[in-house]
Structure 1
């Protein structure tokens, strides 16, 4: 099963969501999904698999990242929205202009920011790519709220 999703405010920003029938997803379905994305002119895709995805299929997904943004999620990982959990602070992905302003304001280089792995569950949820910065807003007893920024690696 396949769905084509687009933003209300920007119909050109489209995403394809694939639900493979196989319990273990291999290379063949990944290639067919890539072909569907090319045919539709869509550059973003999500694969929601039931049990496992083979290492070779994961490798193909990571190799596609230069041209297409494809992510794979286990069905069981999507049963709970982790961003609504009480222990997960609010995350806001910064735009490129905001990132530049942040680095200029604090006289920082990108390499001086704390890091967040692209494999982090929250980073995967927001689709963070290498080089993007996320602002994390935590509650603080003394300051009211505490801001920190992390660079996706």
Structure 2
């Protein structure tokens, strides 16, 4: 599969994965030919985005369905020119991404999905974990915007600060096919609301620390954008019991 095929399929896959929580109606279903035309065209004159390399024309942004002022930016980072090989993604990429917040190219609360054409090494994963801790620490000194606070109250959709200003890194090979729709993968759903989590714990007659764990760097966690403390609901099927929920705690 060439790089254009991968980008085309990843956009379609991400549209399906994000559609429950995010307004994906703005994501155009582009053909390989259309992707190839925009692949080398910069999407912005902004220097912070220009330094991400080619394929920036394939980037897109979606708004949260319940909190329209909260945005998720999907960025194709460090992709090669067609027919060439990608250079290695290093921990310096965190500094480049951080510049988006520094120069106010994106809002302080916005989150990102960074797609790379490279395998994710342990050291790179560790660098992004540390980067996310820094972003969260910075957010502690910033008040959420009035628009987001109003939308949370109006739509009865409370989120904590930990759910904002997150960066997830994904190898493009993880999103060329929709893992969540594989016939052997049960349905997964993120649960972030404290009240709902408490109701689940009471119904299950257990404490939150008694739940089995799903790590935040797990592929499913990344696709669902789980934060530590969130619960992942897994709908499993049994010939005797039918469909039943199973819960894991993100850490």
TM range (shorter): 0.7 to 0.9
Alignment map for 1:1-153 (pairs within 5 Å): 1=56, 2-22=59-79, 23=86, 24-38=88-102, 39=104, 40-41=106-107, 42-53=109-120, 57-66=124-133, 67=136, 68-94=165-191, 95-153=193-251
Deviation at 1:105, TM superposition (A): 2.7
Give the structure with the higher percent strand: 1
Distance (Å, rounded) in 1 between the aligned partners of 2:230 and 2:71: 20
Give the structure with the higher percent helix: 2
Deviation at 1:134, TM superposition (A): 1.3
Structure 1 residues 53 and 112, CA gap change in structure 2 (3 angstroms)? closer
SS of equivalent to 1:93: strand
> Greater Rg, structure 1 or structure 2?
2
Moved more, 143-152 or 34-43: 34-43
Distance (Å, rounded) in 1 between the aligned partners of 2:205 and 2:124: 41
Superimposed CA distance per residue, residues 79-109 of structure 1 (whole angstroms, 9 cap, x where no aligned partner)? 1000000011011212221101111233321
Deviation at 1:52, TM superposition (A): 3.9
Structure 2 unaligned segments of length 5 or more: list them.
1-55, 80-85, 137-164
Indicate if the aligned counterparts of 1:30 and 1:57 stay in contact, CA closer than 8 A. no
Distance (Å, rounded) in 1 between the aligned partners of 2:120 and 2:217: 15
SS of equivalent to 1:108: coil
Distance (Å, rounded) in 2 between the aligned partners of 1:90 and 1:115: 17
TM-score by length of 1: 0.86
Aligned length: 153
Structure 1 residues 59 and 106, CA gap change in structure 2 (3 angstroms)? closer
Deviation at 1:56, TM superposition (A): 5.0
TM-score by length of 2: 0.55
Indicate if the aligned counterparts of 1:93 and 1:132 stay in contact, CA closer than 8 A. yes
Distance (Å, rounded) in 2 between the aligned partners of 1:112 and 1:55: 28
